[in-house]
Amino acid sequence: MAEKTTGEMQATLGLTGLTMNAMALIAPGAFLWLTYFSQAGEGATAPAMWIGILLALLLCLATAICYAELAKLYPGTGSSYYFAEQSFLNHDKHWRYARLSKFIVGWASHLYYWVYPGVMVAVTGIFCGYIVGTLWPNAMSASNPGTLFMMIVAVVFTFGVAYIAHRGVNGSTAVSIAINVIQISALIVFSVMAIGYRMNHPPGTVAFQFDPTTGEAYTYQFAMTSTTANGTTTATIVRDANMVPQPMLDSTGKPVPYTISYPDKDAMGNFLSHGSATSVVGIHNVGWMFVQATVAILILVGFESVTAMGGEARNAKRDVPIAVITSLLVQGAFCYLFEYFAANYFLNSGYTNQNALGSAAPIGDMMIVVGDALLGQGHGRTFMLIEAFTVFLALIGTTLSCINTGARVTYAMGKDQEVPEHFGMLHDKNLSPHRAIWTLAVISAVIGCIALLMVFGDSSAIADSAIAALPHGLFSSVWFATTNARMASLPNTLTMIVLASNFGTFVLYMLSCIICIVAYQGHPNYNALKHLLIPIFGVLANLVCMAFYLIGPFMGYGTKMEPFGALGIAAVWAIYGAIYFSRSSKATGRTTLVTSRSGSSNA
């Protein structure tokens, strides 16, 4: 394969291309479908989901301003890694720390950029499992897809997207533009339908209730019977030979209509639904808000990705800062806040938050209900499948964008020989950092499979009755699904990997805010609001969110296994980074502190 070791990327991207690449990574069409499951599973904190997203959005806006300001000073490839080097090299007092600062930032950013694609391919596996289970329920459970099947999808999807990234940034941008238009249109349609469903079904009116076994919605109450197992009596739904729930009959033999309500909690104190729109946007509990923000950061990251494409922008100083802010405002402030409000406002007695906990794709379930209500019973599944196609396109876009970004940060470190120098090579024809792209693809596939090991662990454990009904084929079996108690005792590996990626994001964003302060200290264009107060807010907000990984579980917010596991992953990565930096410096004869302000690459 022909390679260029000294070639440069071509400046081909304008404002539209840059903005669309960043918007593709934020991808609201994909993340509403994919992360609602994780957010709903954060214990008692689920009522604060919307306000947690707002807090995460404010944190990201503060960080986005810092990135935009840094991009004005230092347009180029490498994002925060490049900013760290340039800001310290150009500082009158701290220039000696340029190499150390850029390595810390670059290494920390890999905890985000190398783990995040793994999360995306994992949730793609879950998504495809849900679709297959919906179409062929006898072969696969839609709510609890088979572990091996999801892993195979994750691996195939990884290398398919990596091939697109390998082909070059122009093809990637064309894909991103098309995907953004489709996914935003689709999510607006669903959100309007979900809000309309709630407004047209006040308490006491006939409505639909969702049955997870068949994946269909029904307008009648289900007939129930009592079964006893191991001395415990439970109420179960009466079903026919095809597992269709049978209706409860009135005195005349007619099915009893299902009437909707909006209960707050069940008898066990578990959150079910919001009683009003005010409840959806309410804080409920400050601690809950911060816990939800630690998960919600996943859906908002990506605005900074465009700063890694400065070397491919025609007018980087003008367009990159605009693209950073615009992408976050459109996708975060408009799309996410609107669609998450709609999904939370939709919750009702026919589909509660507890139903969402037991499903691999709660949004898909909601689409079936609202589709049946608007288009006629039986047509909800068709509506869901159409929307699912747009979600799959969004998944391609967001995975493509994060692989492009991560590979370019690795490429920048490879050029500086801070990681093995073969990562700093470009493909001779496509001018893409192909070595970094394919390495990241392998890492993403491995991380994706790890995330899928125990998707239904901890608070998402499958009920014993549902475990008994699961298919047991090679591709449809759920690993470790013996009993509900055993699954509840194991960590949710998907949530753990998500939190590890998010922790890397918090570290990177905090460091970027600090870099902005350093870069503009003593600069002629210094502005106290943009270059001191906002960055300080960003630093503090990121610190608080990271602190909640430790203190949140002890305060009863969420569980301990996943955040502590994520902290363990971060600690191992940090220790390995310190060892690698020390050994690499000795092997190459480079000093930790820069000896000349002409550059830090060969210090």
Average pLDDT over residues 174-179: 71
Question: If pLDDT is split at 50, 70 and 90, which confidence band does 353 have?
Answer: very high
> What are the backbone dihedrals phi and psi of residue 527, each rounded to the nearest 5 degrees, phi first?
-130, 120
Neighbours of 518 (CB within 10 A): 21
| Average pLDDT across the chain, whole number | 85
Cα separation values, 509 from 298, 469, 518, 537, Å:
13, 45, 14, 11
Which 3 state secondary structure label does DSSP give 541?
A: helix
Which 3 state secondary structure label does DSSP give 348?
A: strand
> What are the structural domains of the chain?
3-206+267-588 (1.20.1740.10)
The per-residue pLDDT for range 418-449, each reduced to its tens digit, is: 877 767 676 666 566 778 888 889 999 999 99
The per-residue pLDDT for range 402-426, each reduced to its tens digit, is: 787 778 778 878 887 787 776 767 6
| The model's pTM | 0.80
Give, in degrees to the nearest 5, the angle at Cα 42 between 139 and 499: 90
Spatial CA neighbour of 65 closest among 526, 506, 535, 543: 535
pLDDT at 1 over 60: no
In 49-168, which ranges are continuous DSSP H helix?
A: 49-73, 80-89, 98-113, 116-135, 147-166
CB 154 within 8 A of CB 160: no
Which 3 state secondary structure label does DSSP give 265?
A: strand
The one-character DSSP state at 255 is B
Ranges 383-397, 442-456, 531-545: which has the least confidence: 383-397
Give me 268's structure tokens: 């066990």
The per-residue pLDDT for range 44-81, each reduced to its tens digit, is: 889 999 999 999 999 899 999 999 999 888 887 667 88
CA gap 82, 105 in Å, rounded? 9
Contacts for 127 with CB less than 8 Å, ≥ 6 apart: 33, 34, 360, 361, 388, 391, 392, 395
